[in-house]
Amino acid sequence: MGSLKIENVKKAFGPVEVLKGIDLEVTDGEFVVFVGPSGCGKSTLLRVIAGLEDSTSGRVLIDGADVSVTPPAKRGIAMVFQTYALYPHLTVKNNMALGLKQAGTPAAEIERRIKIASAMLSLEPYLERRPAELSGGQRQRVAIGRAVVREPKLFLFDEPLSNLDAALRVNTRLEIAQLHRRLKATMIYVTHDQVEAMTLADKIVVLNAGRIEQIGSPMELYNAPANEFVAGFIGSPKMNFIDGARLGETAKTIGVRPEHLTVDTKSGAWKGTVVHAEHLGADTNLYLDCETAGLITVRIFGVYNAEPGSTLYATPDAAKTYRFGADGKVLK
Amino acid sequence: MSTATRSLPRTIGAHAILLTYTAIALFPVILVVMNSFKSRAGIFGAPLTPPTTKTFDLIGYTTVFGQGDFFHYFQNSLVVTVASLFFVLLFGAMAAFALSEYRFRGNTLMGLYLALGIMIPIRLGTVAILQLMVASGLVNTLTALILVYTAQGLPLAIFILSEFMRQVSSDLKNAGRIDGLSEYTIFFRLVLPLVRPAMATVAVFTMIPIWNDLWFPLILAPSEETKTVTLGAQLFLGQFVTNWNAILAALSLAILPVLILYVIFSRQLIRGITSGAVK
């Protein structure tokens, strides 16, 4: 009941091309996350799917039907915005009901759906309040509730957690994950936060400069990035990129994730000086300035004591290093 | 009582300056109101003193209510002001919404064209306006005045409102679109309530010049039927003899309606003026 197909969608604002030909297929019930740096076109793509922006060329199909010229309200979608975008003059209940009233849904049915949604999101105590009387987390739950009551074919989330503080973000993330499991609905989620992408997605679409860099499950992207951009974008701290020539390799660039490096005080592949150590409790991030490899990050699980200025040897896990060609693509 | 952010001398200084300014600003108004309750001899004998039992006289007010149809003039002024205000706010807000919300060819150019009206006084076009009104048979109608004042008020209204409308969250408008609200509903139900302080500001700035205007009523609608208060007060202004009692009384009365409208808008107005500063 909720598949999406995008065929060669392009979008230009005047001379600026924001989307340079996007092809994508989303099957029913999938949780797809668009991720990318700011300005990569992910929000624009979501707006094109929603119908808030017209694509310059290309087609958008929802459930096989071309909706390229269908207004947003008739596309069978619901959207959750970063700034919540609740109607300030309406109560929580009416905020949820408005879309259904506009669509001519019978009052009893509206009542029933609001009851289910507010129970799901524990919003019952707030139904008669106005948005101004709610906290940020509650407001975002109302916004999600407003999407749920529409029973859409597609849920669209536009950076819904960006305005929440860190603790609330984790909670709400969990709620969205549970919501997806319960509703089994197709969801498309835009974020610039790769942690959100990794934890929520069935399928991640990495976008950069208006193009899709790679599509895959979180672990596919982590274990087998197609190119340097995806390798650098997925994973935190970021993958180390070392100039191949400095290591005497044929590849243009060698990539190794901080967690795939081990350190030793006596011997190892790369000798370096500790520049800075970040102690996070569960793990320790070391910044090493290596003679051959340059500045690299090493992530060590657990506590590791290293004084800045001391000498350490880092050794990459050979099975988990990546080799990139001059075009940035992974060399097999 | 000194605190970290306030010291007594500075507080006194600030209040002294503000009070002096208030006195200067209110002086002419008070003078007019005061003298309107005095006899002719009282006005000329001691214009700066308040009415005493000896000089107290309501002759001005009785003249105003007796001569000429002042109630009717008031009604004309109110009709013209309120109708112009309504159209300025309605069309101004709509144009501002279009300019700030939609991307279309010539958007910036249109904005500049409309802003041009702020810089060029409408009175420069008086002759052409008069010819236009004669040709369309609107001379000596309130419609003529309403049309002119609407045109006069629109540039500033659009300029101010479009700036405010740009600040209204686009997510909110988009949420409305996804919920199936029409563009008109989005405009009237979502956007307008959020720019209400700006609307009040525009309303006050638009209303006062219209109410006070003498130029266009004199040229476009000088007939007895369509006279406004400001024009009506000229009745007592002669080349050789001027009935000061009546003029002062008429002017005092003319302050009242604007004062009432101002009080209605003022709460919103203060928020409108300060709304850019905080947040």
Distance CA(A151)–CA(B6), nearest Å, equals 57
Whether B78 is covered by a domain: the verdict is yes
If pLDDT is split at 50, 70 and 90, which confidence band does B277 have?
very low
Segment B154-175 mean pLDDT: 91
Which residue of chain A comes nearest to B181, CA vs CA?
Answer: A102
- Whether residue B24 is contained in a domain is answered as no
Q: What is the pLDDT of residue A310?
A: 92
Does A200 have pLDDT greater than 80? yes
- Edge-to-edge strands, sheet with A321-324: A240-243, A253-256, A321-324
pTM score: 0.81
Mean pLDDT of A295-322: 91
Q: Confirm whether B249 is domain-assigned.
A: yes
A66 pLDDT band, cuts 50/70/90, is: very high
Average pLDDT of the segment spanning B101-108: 88
DSSP state of B6: -
Query: Which distant-in-sequence residues (6+ apart) come within 8 Å of A52 by Cβ?
Result: A72, B174, B177, B178
DSSP assignment of B137-203: T-TTSHHHHHHHHHHHHHHHHHHHHHHHHHTS-HHHHHHHHHTT--HHHIIIIIIHHHTHHHHHHHH
- B270: containing domain: 69-274
B227 within a domain of the structure (yes/no)? yes
Please answer yes or no on whether A99 and B174 come within 8 Å at the CB atom: no
Local structure of residue A85 (DSSP, 8 states)? -
The residues spanned by each domain of chain A are 4-230, 241-324
**Residue A7: per-residue pLDDT:** 93
CA distances from B195 to A4, B111, B235 (A): 38, 19, 42
Q: Are B236 and B250 in contact (CB under 8 A)?
A: yes
Task: Check residue B1 and give its pLDDT.
Answer: 52
Q: Answer whether residue B149 is part of any domain.
A: yes
Tens digits of residue pLDDT in A83-106: 889 998 899 999 999 999 999 999
Residues of A in contact with B195 (CB under 8 A): none
Minimum-distance CB partner of A52 among B177, B181, B194: B177
Shortest alpha-carbon distance between residue A246 and chain B (Å): 49
pLDDT at A35 exceeding the cut of 90: yes
pLDDT of A134 over the 80 cut:
yes
* CB burial of residue A84 (10 Å; 0-12, 13-18, 19+): buried
pLDDT of residue B270: 62
Residue A175 vs residues A178, A192, A295: alpha-carbon distances, Å: 5, 19, 39
CATH number at residue B117: 1.10.3720.10
Mean pLDDT, residues A21-30? 94
Amino acid B276: pLDDT: 44
CATH topology of domain A241-324: OB fold (Dihydrolipoamide Acetyltransferase, E2P) (2.40.50)
Mean pLDDT of A195-208: 93
CATH number of A4-230: 3.40.50.300
Percent of chain A predicted with pLDDT > 70? 100
Q: What is the pLDDT of residues A164-197, one digit of tens each?
A: 888 889 989 999 999 999 999 999 999 998 889 9
pLDDT of residue B68 exceeding 70: no
Per-residue pLDDT tens for A256-294? Answer: 999 999 999 998 899 999 999 999 999 999 999 998 889
**Which DSSP string corresponds to A157-174?**
EESTTTTS-HHHHHHHHH
Q: Which of B172, B179, B187 to mutate to test the interface with A (most CBs of A within 10 A)?
A: B179
At B243, the pLDDT band (50, 70, 90 cuts) reads confident
Contact B169 A79 (CB under 8 A): no
Question: Which whole-number Å values give the CA distances from A294 to A161, A184, A230, A310, in the listed order?
Answer: 36, 47, 21, 16
Return the residue of A nearest to B178 by Cα: A73
Rounded to two decimals, the ipTM of the complex is: 0.85
Question: Considering its fold, how many domains does chain B have in total?
Answer: 1
| Residue contact A79–B174, C-beta within 8 A | yes
Using pLDDT thresholds of 50, 70 and 90, give the confidence band for residue A202.
Answer: very high
Using a CB–CB cut-off of 8 Å, the residues of A that contact B are 13, 47, 50-52, 71-74, 77-79, 81-89, 98-99, 102-103, 146, 158
Measured CA distances, B44 to A273, B40, B240 (Å)? 96, 6, 16
The DSSP line for B95-114 is HHHHHHH---TTHHHHHHHH
What pLDDT is recorded for position B143? 94
Please give the radius of gyration of chain A, using alpha carbons only, rounded to the nearest integer: 23
